[in-house]
């Protein structure tokens, strides 16, 4: 409860239903999350740029919104503080993504 009060006093929006995220190594609090959608280009790839760069490379999750049989994946090693690279099986496949990492947005 003291930590929630400290976060509220610092201007961070807090709620018991949505706890503060802890990520990184060493683990750090006051992290941020961004999310959105993307569409693969003709080569079945796309660079996704975050609205605002994180302080360091975040953790990114993607899910295909059209079909379960057609996967969209984050390319290994492509996640940086400001963007990531995704690829899939079919051009024009749409996907949802979210990223959580360090730095207040």
Q: Does 97 have pLDDT greater than 90?
A: yes
Q: Does 9 have pLDDT greater than 80?
A: no
Measured between alpha carbons, how far is residue 55 from residues 12, 58, 103 in Å?
17, 8, 5
For the chain, percent of residues with pLDDT exceeding 70: 65
Residue with tokens 């899910």: 63
pLDDT digits (tens, 9 = 90+) for 12-62: 554 544 455 665 555 566 678 889 999 888 888 899 999 888 888 999 999
Instruction: Count Cβ neighbours within 10 Å for each residue of 33-52 and write b for 16 or more, e otherwise.
Output: ebeeebebeeebebebebee
* Maximal C-alpha separation, the chain: 51
For the question of whether the overall pTM of this predicted structure is more than 0.75, the answer is no
Give the CB-side neighbour count of residue 83, counting CA atoms within 13 A.
7
């Amino acid at each position: 409860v003291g930590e929630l009060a400290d976060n509220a006093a610092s201007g961070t929006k807090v709620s018991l239903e949505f706890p503060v995220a802890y990520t990184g190594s060493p683990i750090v609090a006051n992290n941020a999350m961004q999310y959105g959608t993307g569409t693969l280009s003709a080569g079945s790839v796309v660079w996704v740029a975050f609205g605002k760069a994180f302080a360091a490379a975040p953790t990114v999750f993607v899910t295909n919104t059209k079909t379960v049989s057609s996967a969209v994946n984050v390319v290994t090693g492509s996640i940086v503080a400001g963007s990531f690279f995704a690829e899939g099986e079919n051009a024009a496949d749409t996907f949802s993504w979210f990223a959580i990492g360090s730095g207040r947005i």
